[in-house]
Amino acid sequence: MHVLLKSNSLVVRLLTSRITDGMMFEDISSGDGGLYAELLQNRAFQQVDVTNQASALTAWAAVGDTSITVIADTTPLSSALPNALQVTVPTGSTGSVGFSNSGYWGGSFQLQFQAPEYRMTVLAGINVNTSWTYEASLYYRFPTATTFSGPLTIALTSSSGVVLASKALTISGKNTGWTQLTTTLTATKAPSNTNNLFTVTVNGAAAAGQTIHFAFLSLFPPTYKGRANGMRVDIANAMAALGPSFFRLPGGNNLGQTIPTRWQWNATVGALIDRPGRVGDWGYPNTDGLGLYEYMTFCEDVGMEAIMAIWAGYSLNGASVAQGAALEPYIQQSIDQIKFVISTDITSGPGAVRASLGHPKPFALTYIEVGNEDFFSSTYSYRWTQYLGNLTALFPHLKFMATSYHANPVLSPVALQYDVHVYQTPTWFADNSFYYDTFARDGTTYFEGEYASISTNSSNLYSTPANGRFTFPEVQGSVGEAAFMTGLERNSDIVFAASYAPLLGHVNGSQWTPNLIGFDAGAVILSTSYYVQQLFSLNRGDVYLPSTLPTSGGTLQWSVTKQNSTNDVFIKVSNFAASAQTVTVELPFATVATSGTVKLLTGAATASNTPAAPNTIVPTTKTIITSKTFSWSAPALSVAVITVVAH
């Protein structure tokens, strides 16, 4: 095969000059207990049913001779957090008594994945690191004033009871109102695993007969860039290492399962005790500690821009708000959400709220996504019309993105940006590098907002792992995705951004597989698709260089770009075939370096990176001889980025 670059090559401006490869966040066991660094699960008993103690006490257990119950407190910590943990120390109690939290997915157990070689013990619970300082806090009160005064010990312990870190603080029975305690913990002993506990105890003999209420307990490790209430360092570092240009938030299908339980920006900002949380769309409570402000500051910290979604009158259960006056309050809430992010008025309204949180300067924002996957809804036309009629008048400089099918239904005003989602087989992606080549160049542009190879079963993509569904991304899928991505680069005049989805998945219990980045309590697993995304993202040119075209539907696909500031030419090659294929490159430049590099990802079709073997497939880099004409033998099932300096 020949890749012949034309002499008049610098003609098509790339999407990569501003926004391209980025990340689509979906809260599928990945916000709380994942990206958000809080280590205590069910920390404030949010959105729990106190009549179902087994559920209400998720992650909590009694320590010693005591009883614990989640109650609707008669004097709640806040209107947003009405529940508390009631701890009753019986008469005659001895020893340390209190309660513990096992963190997210606490306990050591084995998971059986789609093949025997995936049998593994995953890291669960609380990661205790002797080099870290933890921030711990809680609120307590005595429902009835007593003369009790004594030490309360906050600790980190192993599952076998070994104390790893502890601090003793004094509590008083005179405090019938809520009192906050804060402290730091530093482990003096290293545990053998992450199956550790956070404990709060008192001396049973001294506290015998006492009843104490606790609310909003928290434990934070060091966070990404030291942000208070921030992100888990290793996950955030893995995300930043992709070199992303954007972050789609707050999560596509997490915008709302029902109208009352929809994601509402104003319930996710401000003091944590004023955030009620919500039952997320994937079936578990969201604390909303990871709120709109945290999303936006994270974008700044990583150096990416938000693509922000607004709830647009439609929920996943099929309910839509009627057009007209009924829709206006929801539109106003969206207006306020946008103003919170970009308003320059910091004396009143949403802009003042942002400024009060420490960010008077507006955040960067260009794209607003109106709803999510509204191709499932028959009401998008009137909702789009009513939303856009209000939003474009107020924010004429922003770009609003439709989430229905392109041109079906016909939207008014005409949508200039569409979000396209596709989950398919490896073969589909390999065959569809030319997917966008026939799209009309009529001013409409596209965001490939969700795409991933998820199964080998084309007749039932959402099958079980035993029937072709991937537990972790596999080489065959990642190579197919790379072929598709070469087409995104070739069509960068109309495809302005793209993101693999979903981004994160807790290996102990994600509701969706596969995910770009896997994680457990103590480790991050970078998938084969992660490395493909990274290869494309970190090797981006300013311009697309036209070349001889690959064969549509063929097993060898490529794209060529150039970074003008460095004269680096990037030749990306995906070989989906089961055997090596030779690519001959003819460069029309006056000067071509005599050597270049090849970054290569290749492996067996079904090979994956797993918790048991996280480095099974990783990219390699080697030097190759280059000239105005040179050849490259692309290994079977491989993705390569050839870099050569030419001008």
Backbone CA torsion sign across 571, 572, 577, 578: positive
At residue 505, the 3 state secondary structure works out as: strand
At residue 593, the 3 state secondary structure works out as: coil
Query: Cβ distance 433 to 550 under 8 Å?
Result: yes
DSSP label of 231: B
Separation CA 278–CA 268 (nearest Å): 10
Cβ neighbour number for residue 231 with a 10 Å cutoff: 25
Phi and psi torsions of 376, nearest 5°: -85, -10
CA dihedral 111, 114, 115, 119 (to 10 degrees): -10
Q: Could you tell me which residues come within 8 angstroms of residue 76 by beta carbon, excluding any fewer than 6 positions away?
A: 82, 83, 84, 215
Which active-site residues does the annotation give? 373
Question: HSE-up of 105 (CA within 13 Å, CB side)?
Answer: 24
Separation CA 2–CA 631 (nearest Å): 9
Separation CA 435–CA 484 (nearest Å): 8
Peptide linkage before 409 cis (omega within 30 of 0): yes
The strand pairing partners of 3, in sequence order, are 585
Query: Cβ distance 490 to 559 under 8 Å?
Result: yes
Cβ neighbour number for residue 362 with a 10 Å cutoff: 18
At residue 310, the 3 state secondary structure works out as: strand
Query: Cβ distance 596 to 566 under 8 Å?
Result: no
Query: Cβ distance 450 to 422 under 8 Å?
Result: yes
Triad 246, 252, 253: Cα angle to 5°? 165
At residue 352, the 3 state secondary structure works out as: helix
CB-based burial, 552-571: b 16+ in 10 Å, e otherwise: eebbbbbbbbbbeeeebbbb
- What the block records as the tokens of 321 is 């708000």
At residue 610, the 3 state secondary structure works out as: coil
